[in-house]
């Protein structure tokens, strides 16, 4: 880029930054941060540690956004004196990081996410594809600095030829700032087309997997949900290891079925039956709250239809043969860098869906 092009680009960013500051409500954030900092100086607030920690977390998020904005506002004009491409693209990267925050509108966006994968049509290939998706999202979480912990997994009972977990289903929690906001658009049916590693004749095979993304609701919302004991069917089983082999002699894993809706959840990651029961019940409440909001009902008793994972039309295709292409069918965003994406480099797809979601709600 020429010096003139670089200067024009920086000047455009400076103009855009003013608009971004209004969209981010920077002045409101400063006022809110001031009030929170005053609140945190009161020793009484720490009597409720969970509440205090949540307020502290909100203060840190506000402070980070304000600082990122103020730093850009100070540094952008300085680069006009001696512009270079490296600095320009770094400014664009920082601007984009801030801009993405304007796409988060839900009160749950900045929180953690419950992430599930269900193997669909395609037999062994579908189970392997589910394992492939899990590795992709685990890679994405790592790159974003999120933590991932498996709550429950069910493995298919065949010997994997790819080194991946052959998943029937898996549920995990992804923790980090805006984990739900970034990942919520990944919910839906994913489709894989490739030469099957399980086909002796090396035939092309199509398989499907369903991804479900739910927000982690605040404890105060969970506590409002009261589920009658007679509506719950609780089963105990042994936690499983690779290949479906039982590794625990004691039945510590817990499966809970909500009889009115048919929603089933499991937890086997915790050490004790009590901990797994609490985790499974929390997961059940998360699904019920989400379903209540989706169905626009105020009471659990209104949820009386049997619910199953929604297998609608696919949102994304992963084609590995006869050519290489991953394409999102909602945004038309695509790339031939399939290995890069499967390693967790999902920013292009996620950002395109965030923008698409905002445009669809205008």
CA separation for the pair 86, 102 (Å, rounded): 25
The answer to whether 281 touches 256, Cβ cutoff 8 Å, is: yes
Burial degree of 7 (CB within 10 A; 0-12, 13-18, 19+): middle
Q: Where are the domains of the chain?
A: 3-103, 110-362
DSSP secondary structure letter of residue 246: B
CATH number of this structure's domain 110-362: 3.30.70.1660
CATH 3.40.720 fits 3-103, yes or no: no
Count of C-beta atoms within a 10 Å radius of residue 95:
19
Mean pLDDT score of the chain: 89
For the chain, the C-alpha Rg in angstroms (whole number) is 23
Q: Give the list of residues 6+ apart from residue 266 with CB closer than 8 angstroms, or none.
A: 151, 152, 154, 171, 253, 254, 255, 256, 280
Taking only the tens place, the pLDDT of each residue in 46-102 is 888 878 888 888 898 899 999 999 999 999 988 888 888 998 999 999 998 899 888
pLDDT of res. 293 = 85
The model's pTM is 0.84
CA separation for the pair 66, 54 (Å, rounded): 18
**pLDDT beyond 50 at 360:** yes
Taking only the tens place, the pLDDT of each residue in 203-226 is 999 999 999 999 998 887 888 888
Confidence of residue 244 (pLDDT cuts 50, 70, 90): very low
Extract the tokens encoding 161.
């030829």
DSSP secondary structure letter of residue 264: E
φ/ψ of residue 207, rounded to 5: -140, 165
CA separation for the pair 349, 293 (Å, rounded): 26
């Amino acid at each position: 880029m020429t010096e003139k092009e670089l200067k024009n680009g920086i000047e455009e960013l400076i103009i855009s930054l003013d608009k971004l500051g209004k969209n981010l409500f920077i002045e409101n954030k400063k006022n809110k941060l001031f009030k929170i900092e005053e609140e945190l100086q009161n020793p009484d607030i720490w009597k409720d540690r969970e509440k205090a920690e949540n307020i502290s977390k909100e203060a840190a998020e506000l402070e980070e956004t304000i600082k990122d904005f103020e730093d850009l506002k100070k540094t952008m004009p300085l680069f006009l004196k001696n512009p270079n491409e490296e600095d320009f693209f770094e400014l664009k990267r920082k601007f984009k990081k801030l801009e993405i925050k304007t796409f988060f509108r839900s009160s749950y966006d900045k929180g953690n996410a419950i992430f599930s994968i269900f193997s669909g049509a395609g037999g062994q290939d579908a189970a392997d594809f589910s394992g492939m998706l899990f590795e992709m999202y685990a890679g994405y979480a790592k790159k974003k600095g999120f933590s991932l912990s498996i709550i429950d997994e069910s493995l298919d009972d065949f010997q994997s030829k790819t080194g991946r977990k052959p998943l029937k289903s898996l549920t995990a929690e992804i923790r980090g700032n805006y984990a739900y906001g970034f990942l919520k658009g990944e919910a839906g049916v994913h489709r894989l087309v490739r030469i099957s590693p399980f086909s002796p004749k090396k035939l092309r095979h199509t398989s499907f997997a369903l991804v479900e993304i739910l927000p982690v609701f605040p404890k105060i919302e969970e506590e409002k949900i009261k589920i009658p004991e007679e509506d719950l069917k609780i089963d105990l089983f042994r936690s499983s290891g690779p290949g479906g082999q039982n590794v625990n002699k004691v039945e510590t894993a817990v499966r809970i079925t909500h009889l009115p809706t048919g929603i089933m959840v499991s937890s086997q990651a915790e050490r004790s039956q009590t901990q797994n029961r609490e985790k499974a019940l929390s997961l059940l409440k998360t699904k019920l709250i989400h379903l209540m909001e989706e169905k626009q009902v105020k009471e659990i008793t209104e949820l009386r239809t049997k619910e199953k994972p929604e297998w609608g039309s696919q949102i994304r295709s992963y084609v590995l043969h006869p050519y290489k292409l991953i394409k999102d069918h909602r945004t038309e965003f695509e790339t031939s860098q399939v290995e890069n994406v499967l390693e967790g480099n999902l920013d292009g797809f996620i950002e395109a869906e965030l923008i698409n979601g905002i445009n669809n709600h205008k």
